[in-house]
Structure 1
Amino acid sequence: MKRPVATPQRPIRKERNILFAKFPPGQVREASDFLSRVDQLEVERREQARVVGVAYDLHHHSLQELEGTLEDKGYHLDNTLMSKMMRALIYYVEETQLHNLDAPHRPLKRSQSEAYTHAWERHPHGDHDDTPPEWREYK
């Protein structure tokens, strides 16, 4: 995932839960120990719920990156349909936010009505007279 080049003005703080599969047991503790060694990442372990809570700045980490790292290390995430859908939605939102941070700022026109005025002039509408000019001036 591409990170914005400019120095961030405001942090974009995200708090997410990483839900693990029931088997193998003990992976929540191991994963939280592993994630606690990652820079600029806050980790909270909740073993009863099979969850590791993470808090991070989007300029430095993303959920997709963190979960991908865990899967590469051999951890098993929850694969229920609801978890997969929530994961996909969060991936999309974070990727879109990063993309929008990198997008150039486009100033608006002087007035909103100016855009509609130009569009109205170019669009054929009921006020248009199809009569040729020589017939309009005939007396």
Structure 2
Amino acid sequence: MPDRELSKCRDIVVLAEPDAAAALLGRLPGVSAQAFPDQQRVTVRYDVDQHQYQQLRALLLQCGFPLEDSHYARMRDALIDYSESVQLHNLGVPATALKSREAYMHVYEQHMHGDHDATPEELRREL
């Protein structure tokens, strides 16, 4: 999987002290964080194989930062958490072995084609 698919850029709405929240997240290895105090948000960049969105939010909550808790935010966060967990699961799954084109050609050649009627001659009637 290309590295750009592992790299994530997410916004976390921090209702108080986004500068301090960005500083805290920026100290984590593999995480870069930038605060936007006027918008009450922190933009974080990380690789999903090293950190997950849920983990970063949990750290901020544990340190006492108030985060957005609207219905929309909960749905967005659940979708992000689900997509990252599926992506992590898929990283561990080996690629499926696909049949080659020749295998399908061989099967196709074995089938009868055209206007073949499987009814025995003795059962056929002319009208």
| Pair in the same fold by TM > 0.5 | yes
Residue-by-residue CA offset, 1:91-114 (whole Å, 9 max, x unaligned): 111111111010011111234984
In 2, Cα distance between the equivalents of 1:112 and 1:51? 54
| Aligned counterpart, 1:56 | 46
Secondary structure of 2:28's match? coil
Moved >6 Å (runs of 4+): none
Match of residue 20, structure 1, among 14, 36, 46: 14
Q: Distance in 2 between matches of 1:29 and 1:60?
A: 23
- Of 29, 32, 37, which residue of structure 1 is paired with 2:22? 32
Cα deviation for residue 9 of structure 1 reads 6.5
Normalised TM-score (structure 1): 0.68
2:39 & 2:86 partners in 1: Cα distance? Answer: 29
Q: Could you list the runs of 5+ residues in structure 1 that have no partner in the other structure?
A: 1-7, 122-126
Identity across matched positions, percent:
29
Q: Higher helix proportion, which one?
A: 2
Cα deviation 1:81-139 (Å, max 9, x = unaligned)? 1111111111111111111010011111234984xx69xx9xxxxx9x7x9x9x97xxx
In the alignment, is the contact (CA less than 8 A) between 2:14 and 2:21 conserved in 1? no
Unaligned runs of 5+ in 2: none
Distance in 2 (CA, whole Å) between partners of 1:10 and 1:102 is 15
Which residue of 2 is the match for residue 72 of structure 1?
62
User: What is residue 10 of structure 1 aligned with on the other side?
Assistant: 3
Aligned residue in 1 for 2:90: 100
Report the CA distance shift for 1:97/1:112 in structure 2 as closer, same or farther (over 3 A).
farther
RMSD (Å) for aligned C-alpha atoms: 3.0
TM-score by length of 2: 0.74
Higher relative contact order (CA 8 A, sep 6+): 1
